[in-house]
Structure 1
Amino acid sequence: MVRESRPCWTQKWRCLLLGLLLVLIVGAVAVLAAVALARGGRPPAELPQWKGRGSTAHLKEILLGRCFAYAGLLRPELRKDCLKIWNAFQNAFISKNPCNITEQDYQPLMALAAHPIPCNKTLLWSKTNELAHRYTKVRGDLLTLEDTLLGYMADGLMWCGSPSSPEMNYQSCPHWLECANNPNSVYWKMASRIFAEAACGVVHVMLNGSISQPFGNSSIFGSVEVHRLNPKRVHLMKVWVIHNLGVQSSDSCSKSSIKELKSILEGRNIGFSCEGDHRAVQLIQCVGNPEEPACRAC
């Protein structure tokens, strides 16, 4: 009888062990599920919707590529660490309220990317974006902000984050006028200030004579750059008021907005000169429009 009872007891122990193992497995799954939920298993918070376009796709790759191209090919003597520059760039806005960005957020980036600007080489512009950069590419004797590392890297890009996410917001970002302290406006105003403060000698500016007010106080040129020129380093501003080809031009140098610019500069002890349709700029316009009457003399 003893030999017949052993299989029965063995079967009972097996059932008991299997039941205990099942309880342990169920408990472990429950614990893991609870931990996962506590650590972020909840669905991510919905990102806010802004009026501007979202962060540029592949922003990291684009910005790093431009940095390597600028520091490695265009200006290899600068010896810039592009990986450090990228980290400083993203740290300025990632996981932060995109309407509460400050100059302090960008200060490490500006320090890493800054470099000297030669005297008499500064070209400022307002409402002449495309033409100003065509000029610097062809002539090569002047530099816009976009010809510096800070401008070259970020030109045409968009970026922002959200305090509820460690990632960039690719859906939407604050429009330039939607809130004053958004990542793009703070970046460009700060970079423009640094660019203007570094100017020395003669500073050139290209303005659009085909609009009613070539000089505007609300532009970055009017609100930031003009007031950040150092009178101890800059002695003259040469203003070029450029008209679109095929549009009847007027003496834009006598317009009230240009007179206002002259008054601001003279009040800061900076000399002023103005020229309408600077010939070298007009020749660049004529490259794409050779049949225009203004170009036929060429």
Structure 2
Amino acid sequence: MARRPDRKRCIIVTVVVVALFIIVLGLVLGLTLRKEPEQFETTFINRCEKFKGYDCNKLWTAFEQAYVGQDPCKVTVEDYDPFIAAASFKPACNRMMFWSKTKDIVHAFTAKNPCFVTLEDTVLGGVADGLTWCGKEGSSETFTTGCPGWSDCENNTVRSFWNKASAAFADAACGNVTAMLNGAVDTPFSSTSIFGSIEMPRFTSPTVKRLNIVLLTQTNSGANCTNASLKELQNTLAKGITYSCSEMTEAQLQQCSSKPCGNCW
């Protein structure tokens, strides 16, 4: 009979320990769930601050208002209009670089060669490059998981953003513009890509004078400048804009990136 109080005491202690564990676990999970939007906002602001002349808090507010509290499949390109207006930038005539299926290569190139500027090298695209985000109806938070993918719905949060940002970047194109395409695929130019369906159709003469295509090729394989898809590109290019195509290997591009500003192709 003398042992029963000890046993009872052990049971009480166990129950208390389990209860405390559950409470602590709940707090940790709660903090983790709240951490996601905070991290996203911090990343956005930190990236924005690398560009001079912008009110990054204002940019964040305009960006967030485009999708927060909304069905992530019902965010239109127009919802990002306030952000696009706040993220306006000075056009870089003769230096603007577009790309399709060459993202990593083109960004490695512009990182070494400041003569050229991609959308992601401006505040317009730099704040969101590589990120995923969305809102949810009835919520004031930003989510970075559980968001619809690019092809899940037409008006999803990320897709609408890049369509709008790409259009704004193309609207600023002037002088000689360059596009880096992938010669390792059968159709370097696709009329359904962002470059083919959104950016290139916005090039108009005389604002844009010339389109230089840099086709990244592989030795003895892939496409070249006579590719049928590039003929289609020429046929759909606005009248008054001249066209050129240069084939380059990655090794040649690396050599070009180390040269001072000038014509590499």
**1:58 correspondence with 2:43:** no
Aligned partner of 1:221 among 195, 202, 213:
195
Q: Which runs of 4+ in 1 moved over 4 A?
A: 278-281, 284-287
CA RMSD in angstroms, aligned pairs only: 2.2
**1:191 correspondence with 2:165:** yes
What one-letter code is carried by the residue in structure 2 that aligns with 1:58?
Q
Aligned partner of 1:263 among 216, 223, 235:
235
Deviations, residues 12-40 of structure 1 (Å, cap 9, x unaligned)? xxxxxxxxxxxxxxxxxxxxxxxxxxxxx
What one-letter code is carried by the residue in structure 2 that aligns with 1:277?
M
Query: 1:268 Cα shift?
Result: 3.2
TM-score normalised over the length of structure 1 = 0.70
**1:276 correspondence with 2:257:** no
For residues 278 and 239 of structure 1, do their structure 2 counterparts lie closer, same or farther at Cα, with a shift above 3 Å needed? farther
- Secondary structure of the structure 1 residue equivalent to 2:95: coil
For residues 142 and 262 of structure 1, do their structure 2 counterparts lie closer, same or farther at Cα, with a shift above 3 Å needed? same
**1:69 correspondence with 2:44:** no
CA contact (8 A) 1:262 1:272 kept: yes
- Secondary structure of the structure 2 residue equivalent to 1:252: coil
CA distance in 2 between counterparts of 1:81 and 1:98 reads 26
For residues 250 and 99 of structure 1, do their structure 2 counterparts lie closer, same or farther at Cα, with a shift above 3 Å needed? closer
| Residue ranges of structure 1 left out of the alignment (5+ in a row) | 1-54, 72-78, 288-298
Deviations, residues 34-70 of structure 1 (Å, cap 9, x unaligned)? xxxxxxxxxxxxxxxxxxxxx7771100000111122
In the other structure, the counterpart of 2:32 is none
CA distance in 1 between counterparts of 2:72 and 2:208 reads 35
Equivalences for 1:180-259 in 2 at 5 Å? 180-244=154-218, 247-249=219-221, 252-259=224-231
CA contact (8 A) 2:188 2:223 kept: no
CA distance in 1 between counterparts of 2:252 and 2:97 reads 13
Which one is further off, 101-110 or 59-68?
Answer: 101-110
- Secondary structure of the structure 2 residue equivalent to 1:205: strand
- Secondary structure of the structure 2 residue equivalent to 1:133: helix
- When Rg is computed on C-alpha atoms for both structures, the one with the higher figure is 1
| Residue ranges of structure 2 left out of the alignment (5+ in a row) | 1-35, 259-265
TM-score normalised over the length of structure 2 = 0.79
Structure holding more helix per residue: 1
